[in-house]
Amino acid sequence: MEDELIFNNFQKHISLCHLEKQKLKSALLERQMGRKEIALHQGQICRKIYFVQSGSLRAFYINEDGKEFTIMFAVCDWWITDMNCFANQNPAMLTIESLEESQVLELDFHRLEELYKEIPKLERFFRIIFQKAYIREQLRALHNISYSTIERYQQFVENYPAIVQKATQKQIASYLGVTPEFLSTVKKKK
């Protein structure tokens, strides 16, 4: 069945009975996205958290000068949203866009709040998900301040080969915190 991926994702950390799966299934809205389609616009209230069933997405911030800063990528089997604005139901700072034909499952903020009550195990599930997300961000901060640009690029290529396929170098550069021009020269020199 086609929902295997999401339930497999849940069951990495918690076990679900049939009824619970039913509830979750009905809460998850399937959405097909074309290449470069936008799931969340900066400024919109961020009402959903997204689970990537296939394809890949990118979350980025646009500053006053119109420059894009990629905050995260998400591939198959990952969750993504503007967590700050999702958690507080504020206007989004981030834009979330698909890098290619993708299929996502949308989970609504208020529905999730209800689900936490109906299926308390979900608290555990997202406790573990957020714990991992926190660890990832902390490691990223550590890498940013202790490795050179070329080292960080090499680690990125190693860790996320699937993203390297789909993202442009400009997007990867903005994730690493450098200009595309500089990434280009640094890659050649190596």
> In the complex, which residues of this chain contact a copy of itself (CB under 8 A)?
61, 63, 67, 69, 71-72, 83-84, 87, 93, 116, 120, 123-124, 126-127, 130-135, 137-142, 144-146, 174, 177
CA atoms within 13 A on the CB side of 60: 23
Among 32, 155, 165, 169, contact with DNA (rule: CB under 7 A): 169
State how far the alpha carbon of 97 is from the alpha carbons of 62, 69, 123, in Å: 13, 13, 28
Chosen residue from 148, 164, 165, 166 binding DNA by CB under 7 A: 148
Residue type, 15: S
Closest to DNA by CB, 110 vs 188, is 188
Alpha helices in 14-120 (DSSP H): 18-27, 83-88, 109-118
Please check whether residue 108 is in contact with residue 47, taking contact to mean a CB–CB distance below 8 angstroms: yes
Q: Which of residues 1-60 bind DNA (CB under 7 A)?
A: 35
**Residue 30 vs 151, nearer CB to DNA:** 151
Binding footprint of DNA on the chain (CB under 7 A): 35, 148-149, 168-170, 177-188
